[in-house]
């Protein structure tokens, strides 16, 4: 069985509070809505790709608990292949405490739990599938070694890789750049990785050039309402890909919607120019910011204009 998109990454139960603003240290404030949702950057990206209509498989680990059982059902409900979803009694399913303010901005604390126990044993089991996939996607909510090993496995088998260095760490192992066909991060991650400010399109252009020098195939820096900047290896000038203005309710997981869509296009339309894929992924992510939650807000193929396919 061959998959279009495989994700080696995280699953988190999102515990979300909507409040007028984010609280300060030591402060208690009233929020107005609480809900529990399916999240985690890896799973979010996988679910978005699946909803656009490609064959997906998730390689991850959840706890042998209520949240883990529910998560496996969620993958099945979304048509994601679950043979590589492991369950452990040694740690709890990952959890994310999320606060969303009136502007739709968020602050998140994740406790990765079972996600950190995904390791080379599980990767070995998934290797036959990984080696036949079209696109492999990784992030940084599982152990660094596991992410890097998965990306190397893909690269050795000529499988296209998308790496999303999120949440970002300042001294990322330089090998991560070399194993990334597309290195895709947001402005704050780009800032942390380059050590320079990335607050506008101009600065994002410079950051993309710096990141490309480190050895990846192409760089995409997402800029929220400003769209994104795309820099391809063969070209020295970055391109700004703007997006359409929408009314933002909750931006949580918008970057994951973008990456899931990008993975979909790379698998489904491999010869499409990267800027065009990014342009379309912008439109998909723009739908996600108009509703609350992460996966709850991700569009299906049927919800989107036909020209995106
Ligand atoms: O990128 C959004 C995701 O980050 C949330 O779903 C949360 O689980 C955290 O992992
Ligand atoms: Na959303």
DSSP string, the chain: ---SEEEE---EEEEEEE-SSPPPTT-----SEEEEEEE-HHHHHHHHHHHHT--EEEEEEEESSHHHHHHHHHHHHTT-B-TTEEEESSSPPPEEEEEE-TTS-EEEEEE-GGGGG--HHHHHHHHHHHHH-SEEEE-SSS-HHHHHHHHHHHHHTT-EEEE---S--TT--THHHHT-SEEEEEHHHHHHHHSS---SHHHHHHHHHHHHHTT-SEEEEE-GGG-EEEEETT-SS-EEE-------S--TTHHHHHHHHHHHHHHH-TTS-HHHHHHHHHHHHHHHTTSSSSGGGPPPGGGS-GGG-
Provide the mean pLDDT of the chain: 97
CB 144 within 8 A of CB 167: no
- Tell whether ligand 1 has an atom less than 6 A from the beta carbon of residue 257: no
Catalytic member of 4, 14, 181, 256: 256
Please name which ligand lies nearest the alpha carbon of 297.
Answer: 2
Please name which ligand lies nearest the alpha carbon of 16.
Answer: 1
The pLDDT, as a whole number, for residue 234 is: 83
Mean pLDDT of the region 179-188: 98
Mean pLDDT of the region 58-79: 98
pLDDT higher than threshold 90 for residue 236: no
pLDDT higher than threshold 90 for residue 233: no
Q: Which of 45-54, 112-121, 186-195, 229-238 has the lowest mean pLDDT?
A: 229-238
* Ligand 1 centroid to residue 30 C-alpha, Å: 22
Q: Quick one: pLDDT band at residue 198, thresholds 50, 70, 90?
A: very high
The pLDDT, as a whole number, for residue 104 is: 86
22-50: per-residue pLDDT in tens? Answer: 999 999 999 999 999 999 999 999 999 99
Q: Quick one: pLDDT band at residue 199, thresholds 50, 70, 90?
A: very high
104-116: per-residue pLDDT in tens? Answer: 889 999 999 999 9
* Ligand 1 centroid to residue 265 C-alpha, Å: 22
Alpha-carbon torsion angle 29, 33, 34, 36, nearest 10: -150
146-158: per-residue pLDDT in tens? Answer: 999 999 999 999 9
CB 29 within 8 A of CB 111: no
Minimum CA distance residue for ligand 1 atom 9: 40
Minimum CA distance residue for ligand 1 atom 10: 40
- ipTM greater than cut 0.85: yes
Confidence (pTM): 0.97
243-300: per-residue pLDDT in tens? Answer: 999 999 999 999 999 999 999 999 999 999 999 999 999 999 999 999 999 999 999 9
CA nearest to 85, candidates 47, 56, 118, 58: 58
């Amino acid at each position: 069985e061959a998959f279009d998109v495989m994700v080696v990454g995280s699953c988190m139960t999102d515990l979300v509070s909507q409040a007028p603003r984010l609280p300060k240290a030591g402060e208690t404030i009233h929020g107005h809505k609480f809900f529990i949702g399916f999240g985690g950057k890896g799973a979010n990206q996988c679910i978005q790709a699946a909803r656009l209509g490609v064959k997906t498989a998730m390689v991850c680990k959840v706890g042998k608990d209520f949240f883990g059982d529910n998560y496996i059902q969620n993958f099945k409900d979304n048509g994601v292949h679950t043979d590589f979803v492991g369950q452990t009694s040694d740690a709890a399913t990952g959890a994310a405490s999320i606060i969303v303010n009136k502007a739709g901005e968020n602050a998140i604390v994740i406790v990765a739990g079972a996600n950190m126990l995904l390791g080379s044993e599980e990767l070995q089991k998934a290797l036959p599938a990984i080696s036949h996939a079209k696109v492999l996607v990784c992030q940084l909510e599982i152990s660094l070694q596991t992410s890097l090993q998965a990306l190397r496995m893909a690269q050795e088998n000529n499988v296209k890789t998308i790496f999303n260095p999120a949440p970002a760490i300042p001294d990322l192992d330089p090998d991560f750049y070399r194993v990334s066909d597309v290195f895709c991060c947001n402005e704050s991650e780009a800032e942390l990785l380059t050590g320079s400010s990335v607050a506008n399109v101009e600065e994002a252009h410079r950051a993309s050039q710096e990141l490309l020098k480190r050895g990846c195939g192409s760089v995409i820096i997402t800029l929220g309402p400003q769209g994104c900047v795309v820099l391809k290896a063969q070209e020295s000038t970055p391109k700004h890909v703007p997006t359409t203005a929408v009314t933002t309710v909750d931006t949580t997981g918008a970057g994951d919607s973008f990456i899931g869509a990008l993975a979909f296009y790379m698998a489904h339309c491999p010869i499409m120019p990267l800027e065009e894929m990014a342009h379309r992924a912008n439109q998909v992510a723009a739908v996600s910011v108009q509703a609350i939650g992460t996966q709850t807000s991700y569009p299906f193929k049927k919800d989107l204009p036909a020209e995106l396919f």
